[in-house]
Structure formats: structure tokens, C-alpha cells
Amino acid sequence: MALFTCGHKIPDSDSIIGAIAMAYLQEKLGNEAIAARQGEINPESQYILDKFNLEAPIFKDSYAGEDIFLVDYNNYTEAPEDLKEANIVGIADHHKLGGLITSGPLDVWIRAVGCSNTVIKEMFDYYEVEIPKNIAGAMMCAILSDTVIFKSPTCTKVDTKICKELADIAGIEDYKGIGLEMFKVKSQVEGVPMRNLVQRDFKAFDMNGTKVGIGQLEVVDLSIFDNMKNDLIADIASLKEEEGFDTVLLLLTDIMAMGSQILVATNSLDIVEKSWDVKVENDQFWLDGCLSRKKQVVPFLEPSFK
């Protein structure tokens, strides 16, 4: 029976490339493996796949009765609906524990680093499996993406070191240049429908019983949003109503200025303001230094919903 390697819902580059790298590793370890994804490929991931001539993982969002190796998440919110009926054989991740229950023992590779592909590279080393050049290049890009070219507070020395090792394997010298090129691709937002932008990198959270959605768009220059902000605010407000969120935030992150303009649609304005001790004006506020949803947004908002 084939083993599926698959990342989270609304997959980012870490999930897409992680699934490919993990499937390759599992094949080398003697397990028939198929890389899969639960959602559409975003423009940044497509850029990486094209650059390194890799095939996209297959689309598959149902896993009842199947063997699955989770990549880049370990909670039910971001999982396929029927994950409880699947056999989870392993997890490679860098997120907090999310409450999964399994029916059998499994391989768990979770570390407090900036990217799942960092963890997966360590697995390759552990099992002494060589990484093909193109997969190494793509894994390098996933690390540059998740760590915002090493600027994110989630980035560790391990990520930097492993990213360089992957660049060496791929024969790439100017990896930071490739990172910037990748973020320029990510910054292309013109002509894209508002909802697609809002949901391009969107995560839903259960914060102590309150449903919260947080999207993030990372760009090299925030001014591209100047004429779009009102439409984006209107769209997160509709999304909040349509899907029953208490709060929807959209982080417009400027990776050069190192901060985020946060657009807000909420039924709990006081809670949002209290979380960062800010004043929300015109449905938005600026959070200096904020690059990471995981480290600088979720841990501040979640306790406020107790």
C-alpha cells in the first residue's frame, strides 16, 4: 500500500516541497510513496517547482484507510476531514503540538526550527540518503520562504546552516538572491481577486473555543496595497460573516521594512486591541517588527480569548 506524504490545507511552499522531499526519502527507505497536496499550488510554490523542474504533488484530500505521513502540521484544523480514519505513520513538522490522537506508534520528527524542510534535511542525514540537486534547491527555497530569508524570529542557526548545505548540494551560490526573486513573485498581487489574496496563505484557528482566521501576504514593498486596502478590508469582513469567524486578520507584511500592517475584521475589537496594546483605526494597525504569524501574532491573540 502506498504511503502518501502530505502537508496542510492551503499549502505553502514548505508543505508542497516537504511532501515531495519526504516522498523521495520514503522511496529510498523502501516505502512506496506518493507526494500529495490538499489544495491549490500558490504562485511562489509554482515558481520553485518550475525553477527546479519538479512535478507538483497530486491533489488528494481524503485519506480514510490510507497510510499518511504529515508534513508541516499536526492538528485537525489543517488536516483532511477524514484524518481520524487514516493511519498516521509519521510527522515532520515545526509547529506546536495540535492534539492529534493516533491508533498506533509513529515516527515523530518535530523540532523548534523555522521550517519543516530543515527537519526533513536532518532526516536525510540521519538515514544517510543523498538529496538530488533539484530537490535540495527546492528545499533551500522552502527554508528561505518560511524564514523570510532568515529575517523571521522563527529562524534558527540550524535553519541557516542547513539552508547553506542545501544550496551547496544544489550548486547555488547566491541563495539570498533567489530568495528575493521568490519574494518578488510572491509580491505580485495585481489583478488577483481579493478573496484569492486573502486566502493565499490563510490559517483557521480554534482559540479556546473562538474561531479566528489569519491570512498573511509577504511582499517586498507595502505600497502595492495602497489602492487595494479598502477592498481587502471589505473582503475579510465578508469572509468573517460567511464562515462564522469571530475575528479575521490579514497581515500585510513588508519584508524589507520589517513589519506588518494588520487589517482587522472582528466582533471582539477590545480583545484584538488588548493583545498588542494597540488602537485599531480604519480597521487596521501597524505592528513594527512583525514578520511571523506563528511567533508574533498567534501567541499574543490566543491567550486573550480565554
Is 201 a binder of Mn ion (CB under 5 A)?
A: no
| Spatial separation of the C-alpha atoms in residues 180 and 166, rounded to whole Å | 17
Nearer to Mn ion, 159 or 254 (CB): 159
- What mask, x for binding Mn ion by CB under 5 A, covers residues 161 to 190? ------------------------------
Q: Which stretch binds Mn ion (CB under 5 A): 46-54, 139-147, 201-209, 243-251?
A: 139-147
Nearer to Mn ion, 141 or 232 (CB): 141
Is 93 a binder of Mn ion (CB under 5 A)?
A: no
Nearer to Mn ion, 154 or 261 (CB): 154
Q: Which stretch binds Mn ion (CB under 5 A): 55-63, 80-88, 119-127, 141-149?
A: 141-149
Nearer to Mn ion, 146 or 159 (CB): 146
Q: Within 13 Å and on the Cβ side, how many CA atoms surround 73?
A: 26
| Spatial separation of the C-alpha atoms in residues 198 and 265, rounded to whole Å | 12
Q: Which of 48, 28, 53, 6 is nearest to 130 (CA)?
A: 28
> Strands 87-93 and 107-110: what pairing?
parallel
State the nearest-atom distance from the C-beta of 140 to Mn ion, in Å: 14
State the nearest-atom distance from the C-beta of 57 to Mn ion, in Å: 15
What is the footprint of Mn ion within residues 103-122 (CB under 5 A)? 116
Q: Which stretch binds Mn ion (CB under 5 A): 33-41, 70-78, 102-110, 292-300?
A: 70-78
By the 10 Å C-beta count (0-12 exposed, 13-18 middle, 19+ buried), 250 is classed as buried
Is 66 a binder of Mn ion (CB under 5 A)?
A: no
Nearer to Mn ion, 33 or 142 (CB): 142
Is 146 a binder of Mn ion (CB under 5 A)?
A: yes
Q: What are the backbone angles phi and psi of residue 205, rounded to the nearest 5°?
A: -125, 150
**Residue type for 276, please?**
W
Neighbour tally for 76: CB within 10 Å: 15
State the nearest-atom distance from the C-beta of 48 to Mn ion, in Å: 14
Q: Find the binder of Mn ion among 67, 72, 159, 218 (CB under 5 A).
A: 72
Report which residue's Cβ sits closest to Mn ion.
Answer: 14
Q: Which of 170, 124, 163 is nearest to 146 (CA)?
A: 163
Give the full edge-to-edge strand order of the sheet including 259-266.
202-207, 210-219, 247-254, 259-266, 284-288
Alpha carbon separation from 282 to 150, 264, 265 (Å, rounded): 32, 9, 10
Is 14 a binder of Mn ion (CB under 5 A)?
A: yes
> Which residues are at the interface with Mn ion (CB under 5 A)?
14, 72, 116, 146
